[in-house]
Amino acid sequence: MQLQQIKPFQQARAGPARRQPMRVVCQASTTPAAPGRQFNPLLMGAVEALFRFPPFFNAAAKNARGMIMKRAEAIGLDWGSAMAELQAQDWEAQMKEVTNPDITYPAYYTQPFHAYSQGNLCWEAALEVTMAAKSVHAMVMDPAGKTMDPAGDEALRSSYSARMAESLAQLGVDRSKVKHIVDFGAATGLSSLELLRAFPGAERVTGLDLSPHFLAVGKWEQERRVAAAGGQPERLVFVHGLAEDTGLPAGSQDLVSMCLVCHELPQAATKAIIKEAYRILRPGGAMCIMEMNPESAVFQRIFGNPFAYTAFKSTEPWLQEYIALDMPGALREAGFAEVVTRESTPRHKTVVAVKK
């Protein structure tokens, strides 16, 4: 079938870990310097200027996507066959089932990123996300970034769960009482499925995402899992909506998770989402964030290398705003009193904050 692109409604918007002992990087009383001050502003400014030139952006994005596909093949993934199977499905019908027609997309969400000209509002991005995640995260557990592991994405997500559990225990949160969870930026459900595994006693995980394309693929994959399990329903529900304005009742959730989303957002959107998380959490509930760690040695090397930084920046339009974000400060500003940050991989961190 020929896949049709959805048009934005208007121009206006995700096994045990192999790296076990981790250090606590900061706690509630610590206010770190804004990470952006530690990097080369001249390099970043020059690269930003280059990416405003469409031919340069298009060439860099095409190269980045090619590298992702090449790495996928190197770790044994059959990209072509997987895409052929997915492209044969009736995605337009599937998307109608999950689309909220009242959604207005914010401007930050309607621009190119992740090497796709329509960002997450296209079928290519949605169909390729699982393969791309396995490719991009293949070297995530190796500090040198040289050893490729097909299970790298799984290790990344399970390390998030492990560090989250440690931080929740440190902050006095009883995980057995976590019944209602929202996964902001759930995409097709990779992060949501890890939450189901990490919280077996949860009654419901709501996978919230702004892309109907990703949700359509996630719902289709869920139907296949349920059929393979003999019809046993999952505790995962997909919802098309804005993380800044969920529409959920105040104090209705026990835990909000946001996995690899903040670096895809301008700071204003991240802060608005954190405030919304605070609103929907019950007292004693927690917000948990897994993100790239700009202060890690891995990213310090990337940010100091014009070629590596240019390749990275080609898929991440909001990277500079994320680098400059004081995440613990943003959480405290929203009302969270206690914040704990732990390293979860050589290049990622897990941040947990509790609403008192």
Band of the pLDDT at 10, cuts 50, 70, 90? Answer: very low
Q: Which of 63-72, 114-123, 168-177, 220-229 is predicted least confidently? A: 63-72
As a whole number, mean pLDDT of residues 315-329 equals 91
For residue 119, is pLDDT > 70? yes
As a whole number, mean pLDDT of residues 113-121 equals 85
The encoded tokens of residue 212 equal 């109907």
* Segment 246-294, tens digit of pLDDT: 999 999 999 999 999 999 999 999 999 999 999 999 999 999 999 999 9
Band of the pLDDT at 315, cuts 50, 70, 90? Answer: confident
For residue 210, is pLDDT > 60? yes
Fold of 24-354: Rossmann fold (3.40.50)
Q: Where are the domains of the chain?
A: 24-354
> Residue 227: exposed, middle, or buried by beta-carbon count in 10 A (0-12, 13-18, 19+)?
exposed
The percentage of the chain sitting over the pLDDT mark of 70, rounded to a whole number, equals: 83
